[in-house]
């Protein structure tokens, strides 16, 4: 395992994400202890020393499982635990500490190494900042109940920079992969955080598995032309390990084979090791995926004032991803789960307000009809 210096410690450049553990009976809350134990022990034995969990993972079972595992095996001091404050559940100043105390109990520890404000955007940060969350973090650090304070981010780049400059953060966690270089915080956010002296934790290196698949004939043919020993997942990780600004890359590993493959990749690939041929491969893959977009939406947000409150860019995103990454069922599930029925595309009243504002001149109304029919 290769390591990278963060403050006064060495972090494995691969971290274990605890949100996709093996489960029983197709129930997210029932973690398969035997299989999960084997995955975690293999990771620790191979040098992984960063384990990332959170309040909602596995329907609030992830923290409890990790705490139980480390206690049963007496390995708490071997690893760094990262978990996150569920900011969306915090409506009073007191609720910060209420949640934190429960998390300490879940994890069976008296301190947390890396503590994050979970899933921030501009609106959520403003709300919890007004409740005094930054003073709360200061107090946790002062009492040594946490060692490092950070935040995970899901918003636009401008909000990221505002939050980054609002506090003396130790680290940040952002989504980044070779298809999301300009998405959310993006590469510019990575550079800004590194320039400020923050550690940078990367999530979604494979876009939820989308970049790990060779699920179509044309993609299989493309990989054969690459003549590379790397798997799609290994190439995606190598792209990130190549960047010196990154502290570590998280992977939500689901099974032992994932753990072993990712450990091998993280043990053999580091900073400035991405060859010119591999950069060319990534460029070709970027073009391949982008050319499969059905709707040329840039998520600029000009259409966000829809009188029916239809989240047009989000719907187009699911529709595009179904075609780009050959994940039709996953996109349908996201549309069903993430967008309430009253805001789905079939509630469009055809006022044409969105089309008059769209810089890409997309025929939004017709595309919404197509997207809805496809995703349902």
Residue 174 three-state SS: strand
* DSSP conformation letters of 142-179: HTTSEEEEEEEE-S-HHHHHHHHTTS--SEEEEE--TT
Q: What's the whole-number mean pLDDT along residues 135-164?
A: 97
Closest CA to 185 of 122, 134, 127: 122
Q: In this predicted structure, what is the pLDDT of residue 216?
A: 76
Q: DSSP for 284-339?
A: HHHHHHHTT-SS------TTTT-TT---HHHHHHHHHHHHHTT-HHHHHHHHHHHS
Tens digits of residue pLDDT in 300-331 = 888 988 999 999 999 999 999 999 998 899 99
Query: Span 193-200, mean pLDDT?
Result: 98
Residue of higher predicted confidence among 99 and 155: 99
Burial of 332 (0-12, 13-18, 19+ CB in 10 A): middle
Contacts (Cβ under 8 Å, ≥6 apart) of 130: none
Write the DSSP string, 13-67: SEEEETTS--EETTEEEEE-HHHHHHHHHHHHHTT--EEE--TTGGGGTHHHHHH
Q: For residues 191 and 152, what is the distance between their CA atoms, to the nearest angstrom?
A: 16
Locate tokens 């079939």: which residue? 346
Q: What percent of the chain has pLDDT over 70?
A: 100
Could you read off the pLDDT of 119-143 as tens digits, one per residue?
999 999 999 999 999 999 999 999 9
Residue 198: the pLDDT is: 98
The mean pLDDT value for 352-360 works out to 91
Reported as a pLDDT band with limits 50, 70 and 90, residue 42 is: very high
- Work out the pLDDT band at 298, boundaries 50, 70, 90: confident
> 232-288: per-residue pLDDT in tens?
999 999 999 999 999 999 999 999 999 999 999 999 999 999 999 999 999 999 999
pLDDT beyond 80 at 215: no
What is the rounded average pLDDT for all residues in the chain? 96
Specify whether the backbone of 40 is left (phi greater than 0), alpha (psi in -120 to 50) or beta.
Answer: alpha
All structural domains of the chain: 3-275 (3.20.20.100), 312-375 (no CATH)
Backbone angles phi, psi at 256, to 5 degrees: -60, -35
pLDDT at 199 over 90: yes
């Amino acid at each position: 395992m290769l390591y990278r210096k963060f403050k006064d410690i060495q972090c494995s450049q691969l971290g274990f994400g605890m949100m996709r553990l093996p489960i029983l009976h197709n129930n997210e809350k029932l973690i398969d202890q035997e299989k999960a134990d084997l995955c975690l022990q293999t990771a620790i034995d191979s040098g992984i020393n960063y384990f990332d969990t959170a309040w909602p993972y596995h329907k609030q079972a992830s923290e409890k499982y990790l705490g139980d595992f480390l206690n049963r095996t007496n390995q708490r001091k071997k690893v760094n635990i990262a978990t996150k404050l569920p900011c969306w559940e915090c409506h009073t100043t007191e609720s910060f500490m209420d949640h934190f105390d429960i998390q300490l109990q879940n994890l069976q520890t008296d301190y947390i190494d890396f503590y994050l404000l979970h899933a921030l955007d501009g609106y959520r940060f403003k709300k919890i900042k007004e409740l005094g969350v930054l003073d709360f973090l200061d107090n946790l650090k002062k009492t040594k109940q946490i060692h490092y304070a950070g935040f995970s981010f899901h918003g636009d780049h401008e909000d990221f920079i505002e939050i980054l400059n609002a506090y003396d953060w130790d680290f940040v966690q952002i989504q980044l992969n070779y298809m999301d270089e300009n998405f959310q915080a993006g590469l510019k956010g990575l550079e800004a955080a590194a320039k400020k002296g923050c550690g940078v934790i990367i999530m979604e290196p494979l876009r939820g598995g989308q970049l790990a698949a060779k699920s179509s004939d044309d993609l299989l043919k493309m990989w054969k032309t690459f003549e590379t020993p790397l798997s799609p997942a290994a190439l995606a990780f190598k792209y990130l390990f190549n960047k010196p600004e990154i502290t570590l890359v998280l992977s939500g590993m689901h099974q032992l084979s994932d753990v072993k493959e990712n450990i091998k990749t993280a043990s053999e690939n580091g900073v400035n090791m991405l060859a010119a041929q591999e950069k060319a491969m990534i460029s070709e893959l970027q073009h391949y995926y982008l050319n499969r977009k059905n709707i040329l939406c840039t998520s600029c947000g000009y259409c966000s004032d829809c009188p029916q409150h239809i989240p047009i860019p989000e719907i187009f995103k699911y529709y595009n991803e179904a075609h780009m990454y050959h994940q039709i069922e996953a996109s349908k599930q996201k549309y069903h789960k993430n967008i309430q029925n009253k805001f789905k595309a079939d509630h469009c009243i055809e006022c044409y307000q969105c089309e008059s504002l769209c810089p890409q001149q997309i025929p939004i109304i017709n595309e919404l009809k197509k997207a809805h029919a496809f995703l349902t």
